[in-house]
Chain A
Amino acid sequence: MAISGDIALIRDVLQFIGVFVSFSIAYVSFRGVRQTESSALLRLATAFFFLGFGFLAEGVVGLSQIAPVLPISATTIVVGGLLLETTGYFFLAFSHVVDVMLSKKMGAALLVLPVISFSTGQLSDVLSILSFYFVLYGVVETVYSYARTRKPDTLLIAVGLSLIGMGTFIQWLSLLYLQVDVLSLLEVILQEMGLLILFTPVLRFALGGVRLDGPV
């Protein structure tokens, strides 16, 4: 059964909050790359760049189903969007892997890929569970980082990532149980709440008002 019209509309509009937040984080990170040449910020910018385009693809497809304008198959774009999201989450996890290696600390060592049966699952199911796994790794490493730095913002980001993680898990569930409308909406609400929390450092950065004319 298809998702009812109102829920689908709310879900698709909410996707654009994700687009805005993701591109904002990518923009600040990219400014950081230009000014400090930090590879950590480059990976963060890449992650949120992919996530932004992933959310954009899903949002555009959702809205175009209400007012059909796209000549391309909606399923293709949705899977493409999911692939972009998974790539984004991968870069987020990868940033932590590199950070663990550079700091020579004991990482959570979760980077053992989960066993996924490609024969039974559809590509979208596989992407959702991979996203969940990458976000989960990001949550564990962020909590670990909070234990080291005791910085409240880091804990806040861990909470945000946890909500996104729950969202991706529910996304996977909603793909398995297509008849449950609410799951799809709940997934996006959790993801958007998580992303809004992730927006906090961007706000803090914007309020701090760093001004530099160019790379140094």
Chain B
Amino acid sequence: MAQYRTQVRIIADVLSTARDMNTEGNGVGVTTLLRKGNMSYTRMTKLLSELVGSGLLLELNGEKISKYMISPKGVQFLLAYGSFEDFATSFGLRL
């Protein structure tokens, strides 16, 4: 059965996609993020602008499309998220 994802879980999913799929070092496109993030285009673009605004993602403006790369603050967030997720799971809860 499908599970609801909390907002913080969605953010962590998007950030880890931006980190893991950026193999060539020139960022990840919205299509890849959409495919991995499992959400609508409208919701994803809104979330991306929020993440760029808060400094968790870096926006790389290309000629036609924008690409996204995880920022050092984003990496730090994922590390903290992992630790707190571990902590919450120990108590049988989901972050």
- A residues near B (Cβ < 8 Å) are 28-29, 32, 35-41, 44, 95-96, 99, 102-105, 138, 141-142, 144-146, 149, 151, 153-154, 156-158, 200-202, 204-205, 208, 210, 212, 216
Q: Determine whether the beta carbon of B3 is less than 8 Å from that of A103.
A: yes
Give Cα distance in the complex from A201 to B85, angstroms. Answer: 11
Contact of B56 among A35, A95, A216 (CB under 8 A): A216
Tell me the chain B residues, 55-95 only, with Cβ under 8 Å from chain A. Answer: 55-56, 73, 76-77, 79-81, 83-84, 86-95
* Residues of B in contact with A, size category: 20 to 34
Contact of A96 among B84, B87, B93 (CB under 8 A): B93
Known contacts being A38-B8, A216-B56, is A205 close to B94, with CB within 8 Å? no
Give Cα distance in the complex from A36 to B56, angstroms. Answer: 13
Give Cα distance in the complex from A95 to B6, angstroms. Answer: 14
Q: Determine whether the beta carbon of A99 is less than 8 Å from that of B94.
A: yes
Contact of B84 among A35, A39, A156, A158 (CB under 8 A): A35
What residues of B have a CB within 8 angstroms of the CB of A142 in the complex?
91-92
What residues of A have a CB within 8 angstroms of the CB of B73 in the complex?
216
Q: Determine whether the beta carbon of A104 is less than 8 Å from that of B95.
A: no
Residue of chain A at shortest CB distance from B95: A38
What residues of A have a CB within 8 angstroms of the CB of B6 in the complex?
38-40, 102
Give Cα distance in the complex from A40 to B81, angstroms. Answer: 13
Give Cα distance in the complex from A105 to B4, angstroms. Answer: 10
Contact of A201 among B4, B8, B90 (CB under 8 A): B90
Q: Determine whether the beta carbon of B86 is less than 8 Å from that of A146.
A: no
Contact of A95 among B4, B8, B93 (CB under 8 A): B93
Give Cα distance in the complex from A151 to B87, angstroms. Answer: 11
